[in-house]
Chains A and B, each alone.
Chain A
Amino acid sequence: MSTATRSVPRTIGAHAILLTYTVIALFPVILVIMNSFKSRAGIFGAPLTPPTPKTFDLIGYTTVIGQGDFIHYFQNSLVVTVASLFLVLLFGAMAAFALSEYRFRGNSLMGLYLALGIMIPIRLGTVAILQLMVASGLVNTLTALILVYTAQGLPLAVFILSEFMKQVSDDLKNAGRIDGLSEYTIFFRLVLPLVRPSMATVAVFTMIPIWNDLWFPLILAPSEETKTVTLGAQLFLGQFVTNWNAILAALSLAIMPVLILYVIFSRQLIRGITSGAVK
């Protein structure tokens, strides 16, 4: 790289802008987490200082854990997210394999049909989805949510995975065929392990909107039994408007699992975004 692209003032300027924006991006999150560990007086007296021994207080957390059934909501969210993720990845990979591996009549038409859902949001079909779920008795079950999220995640999964499956070497698959492996064995034993990194990318893309969704839990499964953590937090926050300790603690409890997962998977996610899938 020539020296022309590197000059000291410009580097300092770049760092200044990026650092400013990083502060803007993180400030609300840090503020909420920091204040959730403080007493009421500490929250209002000095909102911008970290908790000191004098202001440290876990009253917010004890209220939240005593009042809301968050462990249960958390379980619901986990079941819904993991089950939909599993189905999206399995069905998505199978369809992507069929589209990228075999030439058959209607192949590109089928690809286009499945890609429709990338641009048209499933939310617009809510009226009829609710009727369908009422008719099949699935309202207020986690199954309804799992089905909807599977349908919602499939288009993008098929699209991304078929791009990656085209890169798997034909020689390998043909060698498998000569050895007498069935098409199913080739898919599950040869191809799937090779596209595992792109599966992880798809998993992260699929997981975030499912975990964070408010619309479908609100409409399809609002009962106490099936509340997800997002909906539970929303209702809890609505009830406890004046209890700032409880609100800040509930927000922090909702932030932390996602944040921890993100820190673990961020490398995977960023590599996924920056590697070809969206070029």
Chain B
Amino acid sequence: MAADIRPKRPFRWHIGVFLAPAVLVYTAIMILPLAGTLQLSLFRNIEQHQVFVGLENFRMLFGDPNWSVGFWNALRNNTWFFIIHMLVQNPIGVMLAALLSSPRLRFAAFYRTAIFVPTILSFVIVGFAWKLILSPLWGVAPHLMDLVGLKSLFTPWLGKEQYALTALSLISVWQFVGIPMMLIYAALLSIPEEVIEAAECDGITGLAQFWKIKLPLILPSIGIISILTFVGNFNAFDLIYTAQGALAGPNYSTDILGTFLYRAFFGFQLQVGDPNMGAAIATMMFLIILGGVCVYLFLVQTRLRRYQF
């Protein structure tokens, strides 16, 4: 360390000047409010005063039927939302990336650009556009299904309790498939030519090459997209809100933690907003996300072998 060689170096003010703005804004607007929210979840507003109640809010959230039914429902729905993303979005993303990275593929740049388009659109656009397409009023979806002879299968998916959440998850998959595609594509491009050539010399080509050579090499990237999906899904709100409103209809069947938090915090229609319960739900979301990140950092990432070229 330089400091050991010259112990009497003057205090380097410029380091502080360079760091200060970022650290100040980040601490004041992000870290302190986050800590404040965690703290707020331990208090309750009794006669205009914030009174410390320990874990009482959480007991209510898990035990009081007024809250717990909604909470467990939201958590269950959110888990399903995440499972669909893992089962549909990430495999499709990996497949598209594998196809895109095949050598000398023509129009690769065009495909890449086009498939990423939905990802840059806002949730408001995505939610409404799909609402229109799936609407029985307009009839685009039944018309298209008629072309392949499946018209009888059409129902207004977004309006039926048993289908709405899956339909919304698939819309979200449609929107975000570009992200795993790009990250995996980058990982595939960084595999050195020699490794692939060595595999070819051993007669491993095509699909076998993908499963045996490339897939193990891109596992760390698959780990990253899994955790990004996890964080994104358990923090989602906008799509449900734009497509189904804050009540996450029909009959709360598409309610996820984000919309549940919004209603608890701000209130909606007959329900009065309660910042302390909102903070308790946000704390639960924080713990869930933190848990996921820890599982990833300590269990998944350390076991994935990284290869240095």
Contact = CB atoms under 8 A, between A and B. Distances in A.
Interface in A126-169: 126-129, 131-132, 147-148, 150-152, 154-155, 158
Given A14-B105, A117-B30, A24 B185 contact: no
Interface string B116-132: 11101111111011101
A11 B117 contact: no
A29 B140 contact: no
A139 to B, nearest CB: 13
B27 to A, nearest CB: 9
A128 B33 contact: yes
B196 to A, nearest CB: 8
Contact of A151 (B30, B104, B113, B140): B30
B150 interface: no
Contact of A152 (B30, B107, B118): B30
B143 A124 contact: no
Contact of B124 (A43, A48, A97, A230): A230
DSSP class of A's interface residues: helix, strand, loop or mixed? helix
Given A125-B30, A234-B242, A212 B138 contact: no
Given A18-B96, A155-B26, A234-B242, A128 B183 contact: no
A123 B99 CA distance: 36
Interface of A: 1-2, 4-6, 10-11, 14-15, 17-19, 21-22, 24-26, 28-29, 31-32, 43-44, 47-48, 87, 90-92, 94-95, 97-99, 102-105, 110, 114, 116-117, 119-129, 131-132, 147-148, 150-152, 154-155, 158, 182-184, 187, 208, 211-215, 219, 230, 233-234, 237, 244, 247-248, 251, 254-255, 258-259, 262-263, 266, 269-270, 273-275, 278-279
Contacts of B241: 214
Contact of A48 (B37, B132, B140, B182): B140
Contact of B36 (A90, A125, A219): A125
B128 A94 contact: no
A106 to B, nearest CB: 10
B29 A147 contact: yes
Contact of A127 (B22, B31, B37, B174): B37
Contacts of A24: 174
24 contacts: A2-B197, A14-B102, A22-B111, A25-B118, A28-B133, A31-B133, A95-B22, A99-B19, A102-B12, A103-B1, A104-B15, A119-B231, A122-B34, A125-B30, A127-B278, A128-B36, A128-B37, A150-B29, A151-B30, A187-B18, A212-B123, A214-B123, A230-B122, A269-B116
A215 B238 contact: yes
B117 A26 contact: yes
B186 A279 contact: yes
Nearest to A266: B113
Contacts of A258: 120-122
B3 A47 contact: no
Interface string B172-185: 00100110001101
Given A1-B104, A212-B123, A274-B189, A95 B237 contact: no
B206 interface: yes
Contact of A126 (B116, B123, B282, B293): B282
Contact of A273 (B117, B118, B182): B182
Interface of B: 1-3, 12, 14-15, 17-19, 21-23, 25-26, 28-37, 40, 92, 95-96, 99-100, 102-107, 110-118, 120-126, 128-130, 132-133, 138-140, 143-144, 174, 177-178, 182-183, 185-187, 189-190, 196-197, 200, 205-206, 224, 227, 231, 235, 237-238, 241-242, 258, 261, 265-266, 275, 278-279, 282-283, 285-286, 289-290, 293
Contacts of A126: 33, 37, 261, 265, 278, 282
A5 B103 contact: yes
Nearest to B39: A128
Contact of B32 (A4, A44, A104, A128): A128
B114 A22 contact: yes
A11 to B, nearest CB: 7
B22 A114 contact: yes
B235 A123 contact: yes
Contact of A32 (B15, B96, B129, B144): B129
B29 A266 contact: no
A137 to B, nearest CB: 15
Given A22-B111, A128-B279, A263-B113, 5 more contacts: A17-B99, A28-B133, A124-B289, A128-B37, A273-B186
B210 to A, nearest CB: 11
